Each structure stands twice: as C-alpha cells, then as structure tokens.
Structure 1
C-alpha cells in the first residue's frame, strides 16, 4: 500500500526545523570564506557547511575521484566479515579533514568536538551537547558531503543521536558506505532532499573524462545572475546527455543485479566500462516542484528513481530540461519553505503496479509527477523485492538456529565424555579411534555446511545489513567457533594437509587454509566488543601448537632443537601468555593439560631452562607431575 506520513512520523523532525536547516544550508554557500555557519533554535543546534564552486573541489585525478576511507578516522565504515573498506569521494573527504586538527589521536573517550580545528565550531558543538540539544548538520550541493562526514564522526564518537539534512547533495560513498551505516543503525539519521530535475545528485555517476569540459563551462550558472544564459547553452544540454547516459549504465547494471539477471552482454559491457562506485543511502525525499514530496529508503530503488524521474517525455525539449537541471539545484530555498508540510509526504516503499482502488490516486500522482514509466515501477518493485528476499534469507537462517544449537550441544557432550575419561577433546578427535569420534565428525560436517551457506550469503550481501551486528548471532557464532574450530584443526593435521598447503594459520589472510566461517565469526565478536583484529584468537590455539611443534620437535625436520627453539622463542612466550589469559577467562579447559595431550607432550620437549622459568609450568604440572631435574 502507498503510505502518507507526516514529517515527524516519517523523518523524525519537525517542519520548522527542516525549513531552518534549508535556509542555513543555502546561506552557507554564500559565505565560502567561513568553515560553517550556525543557528540555535529552542531545542536544536544547526550547523551548515559551504561547498566548493569549482570542479577541482569535486574530482581528484581518478575517473570518479574516489578513495578508500581512512579507518583510523572512520573505523565503522567497512563491512565486517568481508573486511571491505568503504569508498568515498576524495575531494569531499579532504575538505572535511581540513576541518579537523592535524595529528590527532582517536580514542573511545575523545569527543567529536575535540577533533575540530575551528575553536568556535568546537565550542558551539560542545555547548549543544552539554545543553542536551539535538545536533543537526546540514549542507547544500557540495557542502552536503561535509555535513554527512561530520554526522558520521559525531555518531561514532558521541554515540548519541544527531541528524543530517542535505539539499541537492552529490553522492558521497559506495555500497559499503551505505551498508555500514545501515549495519550501525545510523541510516535513519540521514535525510536528503532532491528536486526532481536537479542534476547534481546524479553528476558523480559519470566519470570526470566524459563531463569535465561541459561542467567547467556550466558551473558558473549556479550563480543566479548567469543562470539564464548558461543553463540554456549547448554545453548544458551536452552535460545533461552525458550524465544521463552514465546514469543509465549504472541503473541498468544495478537493476540486472537485483533481478538476478545473468545477461552475458551486460557482463561484457561492464567488464569494458568502468561504472561509478557511488550509491545513495538514507532517506531520499523527491520534490516534484509542484508542492508534492515522495520518500524512499531502499537504496537500490533510489538509484532507479534518480534515473527514471529524469526521463524526457515527447513534449519536453532538451534545452528546457537541461535548464531545469541547473535551475532546480538553486530552488531548494523556495521549494522547502513554501511547500514542506502542506501535504503529507507519500512513502514510495510500497509502490507497485496494482493497488487497491483507494490507493490509486497516490500512485497516479507519483507516476505523473515523477514521470515514471511501467519499466521504472518494475525496477522499483524489483529493488523492494530484493530487500524482502534478504529478510526471507535471514528468516530461513533463523529457522536453523535450533538445529545448530542441538548439534553444538552434541559436540559439547562429546567433549565432556572425553574429559571424564581423561582424553582430550582435540586429541580424541584427531586420533578417530572410537564410534563417538565418527559421530562427532558427522556433526562437524553438518555444522560446517550450515555455516558455509551463511558465509556465502554474507559475501554476496544477501542478508540484511544488520545481520552481523545481531547479538544473538554473534554469541551463537562464538560458541560455534570455539567448539568447532579445534575439530577442524585436528582434522587438518590428522590428514597432514599442512604438508601440501602449509600451516593452518598464515600471515596472509587471503591465503589461509582457515575457513571463512571462523574468520567471520571471530571478527563479529571483535567488532561487537570493540577489540582489535586477532584479539579473540583462542579457537586457533591448537593450530599454533601444531605449527610450533613442527618447528621445535619434529625429528624429521629439526636437526638442532636449541637453535630451532631460539627462532620461535617469541612465539612460544606469546602463546604461553595467551594460555594464562585464556585459562583465566575459561576459554581453555583442563583437557589441554592432560598428560598425553598434544600440547603437554610438545611443551615437555622445550629446553628445561625454559620450562623451569615458564609462567605456565604450574598449569602443565597441576596433576602432581614434576619437572625433571637438570641431571635427568
């Protein structure tokens, strides 16, 4: 069904607040010599940033002017399991960094305002936080990306709400950028107003090489006094054609992806043509210029609407539309104050071809005023269905939880039975002598299959963006990893796979034999707990033991045990340090220290002088066994 929502319900902000933000954002572009301007109504503090009026402020030397985000500044802007960094516009990102102090050190306790170079801006933000005012960052045109980056850093450092309202904003980041904001549940704080004909929200979908000449010529038209003469020029029409040609390529490729098309021609074309990495995120409010406004949150659907709402009809002249491209970019100061709040915003999330009769008025209005064709509605519907499919995938995975927990319970019982018989969990499984070991292996293979399917979905972004932040799955993944990975390591060394493919763990993450099902679930926990990569490596304990054993006590490979020990001494000391920590935290159990465990037998081959001085000697000999004397 089509839905009508008032501003407070739909966007979380009052009409007057958005009008104030719009007025301030437009005014900021008239004061480019200042880093920001502000306004402080009753319960809010609004900060607006000016943009750049030159092409150099938009594009770097690359085709799309993109760069990977700085994780030291924005650690949240990445995918978790896939560990892909968000890509952002380099020039906008640099303009934002110019607002920050040089050589600052981030920490959990540092606040957003402490990072700002401008003392007055820092003081105003700090005062707003102390006074419990809601903080709003805003910007028009290329000032909007600065507001977006400021909002993300504020949310990241303060962990309290802040809103970002933009007007005619160019695109800022790639799919990972939006994915990360949705995962952190920050995306609802971003609202972008876009006039139907405004070319600027589409312009970064084109490479610099295809539009540089035309844009350089028409940028002065953003000065209202030069609008008429330049915006109706041949260069303006050419820039419109070039931008829309590239938007068509991006939108068509995205539509094929969400529809699951396997068009070989499309794959060939995209392998030859570099497509823009930028994608929309947040809530978009499309303004028709006739008083009506339509909202969308689905990023794939927004991308389609950016293309289809700017199609020519048979009566439109190219020069007139090109003129509107640039005129609309200057119209927010008129459109928002005059029309915002007159009618409820129509939510297009549920737009479809067939609706109940009482909803037909809304869809007919949307189709007419946004110029949507049947194909456009099909693409919007496909984008919505793609998001629904992600939810269905998650529901199916949630349906496997009981099975996963039952299998894990069976492995836990297998472990306890081994401890009662003084047989280590790892060593029993590695030997595979009893029927219980065989049954444990069947459970291992079944669990591996279930989790590998989950990981494949995550790799292809076929689950909701919030999945990896769900506490129930973080906890289940941690239980799974700690019970399952020792068995996989045992199986790996039981079959001497290290002789063909090397040790289970390698410094090169991409070449590790270690399955992604464990790498992903470890990263989930580290991200949830705010710990650095590798912090929760306890499930890899046996892999490190096996590799150190190969280096220090393998009689076929080690000619001089003392020399061999010296080479890995630091690794041994680090392992012993971790053993103490993991035992204290209950992450290593007593079966590790059984007399015939792989770990104890290896540790007892280490030089006696090391054993006597070791911090874990008491743990290894806790059953009363004594260290041999030096004479022995």
Structure 2
C-alpha cells in the first residue's frame, strides 16, 4: 500500500503518536524520578501512560545468557501455544520491572479510572521503557478486553524498543488478533532494537557505554564519542554478529533448508529467543516510513537494515549509528509531515534488484523505499520467503477447511449410531465396547477416519504450518469440541475393551491422544475456563478406573465425578444414555454403598 497515512494504517491519530513520543522521551529523561508519566489532558478522549527506560544491566538481563523466563500465566494467560502446550518466554528483567510497577505504584488504579471514563488508553515507552509499555498493554488486553469485547482496546506505541518475548509470545498475540494494537518505530541504524539478539556477555559493557553516550548533550555527542570509538565498535560488531546468526538461522527455516549443518550449528551456538511482533515502522532517515507487520520479515530487516558497506565503516558513521537512538522525536516529526509511507503488504512481490524497474509507480516507490533502507538482494529474498511462508500457511488452512464437511458428515453418522443404540436401550459407549453388531464395526471405521484427519491437523499445528490465528477460529473450536465429546468415548471404549490398561496403564495418563488434549485446550482458552475443567469427554475413562478399585480408596474421586456428571447431564453435555439400566456406569454406581448413594447428587437421576 502506497500513499496511505500512518494514522490510517495504525488506527492512531498522528497527533497522538507525536504526543506519545514526546511523553516517552520525557519519562526517560526524568528517570529515576517518576516511575511513569500519566498524561490526562482535561477534555481529552485519550489517556497516555509513558514509561521510562534504564541502562542498568540488571534492568535488561536477570540471568545469562539472554535473560528469558516463562511468562506469569496468572497475569498473561493468553501467552501460550495451545497446540504445543508451551508457555511463552519473556525477558525476566523487563517483566520484573513491570510487575513491580503494577504492585508498587498507582498504575492499576489510574488505568481503572481511565477505563471507567471510556478513555482511549495508550501505553508508550522509549528505549527500554518500550518493553514495560508492551507488557502493560498486554496486561490491559487480558484484564479488560479479553473479558469484555465492548471494551475500547489499548494501543501501545514504542520508540527504539528492544525485543521482549520469543516466537510463542508473538504467535499467541497473533492468535488473539492483538498485534494490531502494537506499533513500534525504529530508525534504520538504531542499535537498541537489536540488542536483545545478543547475550549479556556481549552487551554488558555496551549498555554502560549507551548510558554514558545518551546522557551527553547532542552538540557534544561526537566529542564524547571519539574516545570510546573502540568500545563502541566492539559493541556494534558483537550485536551484529549475533543478529546475523539469528537472522541466518531464521532465514534457513523460512526457505525450508534441510541441511543437517543448520541443526548442528544451532546445537552448540546459543541463539537469542527474542522475536518481533506487531506493526513495525522503519524510519529510513530521509522522511520515508516503511511499514511491515510480518514478524519473520521484520526480524530480517532488523539485521539487514544495519549492514554497513566497506566505505561506511568509519568513526563518523559509527558515531551516527549511536546518535540515531536520540533522534526519534525530530525524525518522527519530519516523517509525519512528509507522509511518504510505504506499507509492504505483498512480500512475495518485493523486487529483488535495487535497480529493478517497477511495472507501475507503486512498485517503483516500494523499491525506492527498500533502497533507502539499504536492503541487499539477500535481504529481499528473505522478505519474499517470509511472504511465501505466510501464503503457504494460508493455503494449508484452506486445505484443512476443505475437511470440515467430511468431519461433520462423520460426526453425523456417529450421532446416528448413538441414537440407534439408545433405541435399543443401550448406551453407545457400551455398544461400542461390546462390538457385537455390524454398525459397531462401521462406526469404528468412521472413528479411525476422523482420527486421521484430526491427527494431520494436530501435526500441522505442531510444525507451525498453519496461520497463527487458526486455533482462535470459533468454527474450529466448536467443531473440535463436538468431535471430542462424541468420539473420545469411543476411543476410551476401544482402549478398555482390549484391556490395554493392564499393559499400558490408565488411559488418561498413558494413552490419551494429543488431538483430544489440543481441542480441549482450545475450548478452555476460548471460554476462559481453568485448565482441565472441560474434561467431559473423558468421563468414561474416570468410570473405568474407579470401578476397579475399592470404594474406600476412591470415595473422594467418586464424589467429585458425580458432581461433574450432575452438571454435565443437567447442561446436556453428557447424554442421558449413561443412565440406562444396562450402562456400565449405572451398574457400577448401584453397587456402591447404600449410605453413599443416598446422599449422592445424582441419586434422583437414577431413581433413588
């Protein structure tokens, strides 16, 4: 997209972007005074919270080599991979700063007031204040937006921010459709947004250097820089070497490289886990703004935009690189005045040659903007690969979607089997467990066909071959829930019919297929349920294990299962066929001690 304004792309008024930048830098300059600045102009519809950065090493890294830790799911329950059951990683030092701010300041109270006043909340941060703003925005999304769709979502605008989370962090935000609320401005040569691609051992001295340089007044910057040229050069080269390793490894994966050397190298070279997300706006330095929202392409640009040609490797140019972290306000003012904005949406058509003649004016403008960012042919190839990977994921999703009718037809047939069994006064679980009829055999064939389809989907999710938003799609969550409730009892029946529990152990511990675990997590996450609470499809596995044990040994578990069964039957999640006289459940329950049965919550269901 060429010619669109920044406000149209981001959804933020340009005046508000500039105001956020001024406040973010002001908050940074006042550190370690106020923990944040809250700008609440009377009569304004906006509430801007600006967070300061810090150059203290322990405010960047709490541990070696990269300072990452698992996110706190009590505050950020969405930051997980549902399909792979992995918790996102976040920079521990940044996370600790945010949590201390939340618990020891009036931030939560003032945000609550802004929400009640129906303000547009904006979180902003400059330098290492950016990660705090990012975490504050995610906290807001979790606390207010995820629980209330009518709530005005926040925006987060950062300027020269380092990276804060790993690929799962990015994936989860894309699944929730939240990345559109994050806008990150990066000048072409600013080293700070790349720092987290290097370990603390390579950056500790550099952070101290950045502190010394960024506290120098602009007119004296070069004078202060020259004595530190050697340290600055070593810091720059260290960050870029590590960024090169990360970008190259990611590019090989983008291009489907199967070379075993790739895995061998990554097994003994520690690579940074951090990855970008959201909308990135690269300031080219001549008033042009290049906008991308593909995280794989953004990662490549973070590396390739900072490549130096041999003629540029001198003290003056290196000084300019470090000074670029100080010019966001003036750079942004100039760029927003010019409104020369290039939104690179169609990555697969990125021109490979810097002097390629565009087929139209728009293509020529895109090529010119990429030239201004100094992108080589290899960089452009990586951008194309990122676009092609996203297109392949969309194509995979179309193929998966084409199976929906097949799945629905299979479930309809199993529902018919369930109904026919009820007519014969036998539950479909017990009928399938006994396998005495042709219909039982045909249903088993259908069960296996459906398992094949769902296992393929599960494997595609595991290999990250579907779009990040796939697991958040309502239609698939509902279809997965229907499949799990209707078909998993048949898997359980098959397992205990063949006495596999005697060799392998309980179904729930040793044998439950991942296709059911995944679809259960989908529902629990979508409906904000506690982990494991949507266990209705494993009812029969609980029954099978409990009925083989002495009552006194499992009486608490029996009572718990009865409570769950009562609610599931009441809500028509479980069919009443489990209460038929010849049901395995009914026979077992009626053999329980009289005292227990008389006080049971399901006694009325069974005529007692």
TM-score w.r.t. the length of structure 2 is 0.93
Instruction: State the number of aligned residues.
Output: 588
**What is the alpha-carbon distance in structure 1 between the residues aligned to residue 75 and residue 576 of structure 2?**
42
Mapped contact 1:7–1:341 kept (Cα < 8 A)? no
The equivalent of 1:139 in structure 2 is 125
Per-residue displacement from partner, 1:181-227 (whole Å, max 9, x unpaired)? Answer: 11111111110000000000000100111232344344311123363
Deviation at 1:255, TM superposition (A): 0.9
Mapped contact 2:75–2:142 kept (Cα < 8 A)? no
Per-residue displacement from partner, 1:40-79 (whole Å, max 9, x unpaired)? Answer: 4532222211111222211112210111111111112112
The equivalent of 1:14 in structure 2 is 13
**What is the alpha-carbon distance in structure 2 between the residues aligned to residue 416 and residue 126 of structure 1?**
52
Deviation at 1:356, TM superposition (A): 2.1
Correspondence 1:325-336 to 2 at 5 A: 325-336=321-332
**What is the alpha-carbon distance in structure 2 between the residues aligned to residue 341 and residue 485 of structure 1?**
60
Secondary structure at the aligned position of 2:50 is classed as strand
Deviation at 1:290, TM superposition (A): 1.1
The equivalent of 1:216 in structure 2 is 208
- Of 257, 276, 293 in structure 1, the residue corresponding to residue 289 of structure 2 is 293
Mapped contact 1:15–1:341 kept (Cα < 8 A)? no
Per-residue displacement from partner, 1:428-448 (whole Å, max 9, x unpaired)? Answer: 111111111110001000000
Q: Which runs of at least 4 in structure 1 moved beyond 6 Å after TM superposition?
A: none
Deviation at 1:412, TM superposition (A): 0.3
Structure 1 residues 118 and 566: CA distance shift in structure 2, 3 A = same
**What is the alpha-carbon distance in structure 2 between the residues aligned to residue 380 and residue 578 of structure 1?**
51
Per-residue displacement from partner, 1:11-59 (whole Å, max 9, x unpaired)? Answer: 1112211111111111111111101123345322222111112222111
1:175 aligns with 2:161: no
The equivalent of 1:118 in structure 2 is 105
More deviation, 151-160/327-336: 151-160
The equivalent of 1:630 in structure 2 is none
Secondary structure at the aligned position of 2:547 is classed as helix
State the Cα RMSD in Å: 1.7
1:257 aligns with 2:253: yes
Secondary structure at the aligned position of 1:433 is classed as coil
1:36 aligns with 2:62: no
Structure 1 residues 230 and 602: CA distance shift in structure 2, 3 A = farther
The equivalent of 1:373 in structure 2 is 376
**What is the alpha-carbon distance in structure 1 between the residues aligned to residue 109 and residue 406 of structure 2?**
55
The equivalent of 1:494 in structure 2 is 497
The equivalent of 1:324 in structure 2 is 320
The equivalent of 1:528 in structure 2 is 526
The equivalent of 1:151 in structure 2 is 137
Correspondence 1:40-51 to 2 at 5 A: 40-41=40-41, 42-51=44-53
Deviation at 1:266, TM superposition (A): 1.1
- Of 44, 57, 61 in structure 2, the residue corresponding to residue 59 of structure 1 is 61
- Of 190, 196, 201 in structure 2, the residue corresponding to residue 204 of structure 1 is 196
The equivalent of 1:557 in structure 2 is none
Mapped contact 1:88–1:172 kept (Cα < 8 A)? yes
The equivalent of 1:538 in structure 2 is 536
Secondary structure at the aligned position of 1:300 is classed as helix
Mapped contact 2:6–2:339 kept (Cα < 8 A)? no
Mapped contact 2:175–2:472 kept (Cα < 8 A)? yes
**What is the alpha-carbon distance in structure 1 between the residues aligned to residue 19 and residue 486 of structure 2?**
56
Mapped contact 1:192–1:285 kept (Cα < 8 A)? yes
The equivalent of 1:392 in structure 2 is 395
Correspondence 1:416-565 to 2 at 5 A: 416-506=419-509, 512-551=510-549, 564-565=550-551
Structure 1 residues 54 and 230: CA distance shift in structure 2, 3 A = farther
1:240 aligns with 2:226: no
Residue ranges of structure 2 left out of the alignment (5+ in a row): 146-151, 353-357
More deviation, 485-494/203-212: 203-212
Deviation at 1:126, TM superposition (A): 4.0
**What is the alpha-carbon distance in structure 1 between the residues aligned to residue 559 and residue 114 of structure 2?**
50
TM-score w.r.t. the length of structure 1 is 0.90
Secondary structure at the aligned position of 2:425 is classed as coil
**What is the alpha-carbon distance in structure 2 between the residues aligned to residue 437 and residue 234 of structure 1?**
78
The equivalent of 2:552 in structure 1 is 566
Deviation at 1:542, TM superposition (A): 0.6
The equivalent of 1:362 in structure 2 is 365
More deviation, 444-453/227-236: 227-236
Residue ranges of structure 1 left out of the alignment (5+ in a row): 102-116, 507-511, 552-563, 628-632
Secondary structure at the aligned position of 1:224 is classed as coil
**What is the alpha-carbon distance in structure 2 between the residues aligned to residue 4 and residue 385 of structure 1?**
25
Mapped contact 2:124–2:158 kept (Cα < 8 A)? yes
The equivalent of 2:149 in structure 1 is none
The equivalent of 2:355 in structure 1 is none
Mapped contact 1:168–1:198 kept (Cα < 8 A)? yes
**What is the alpha-carbon distance in structure 1 between the residues aligned to residue 246 and residue 374 of structure 2?**
19
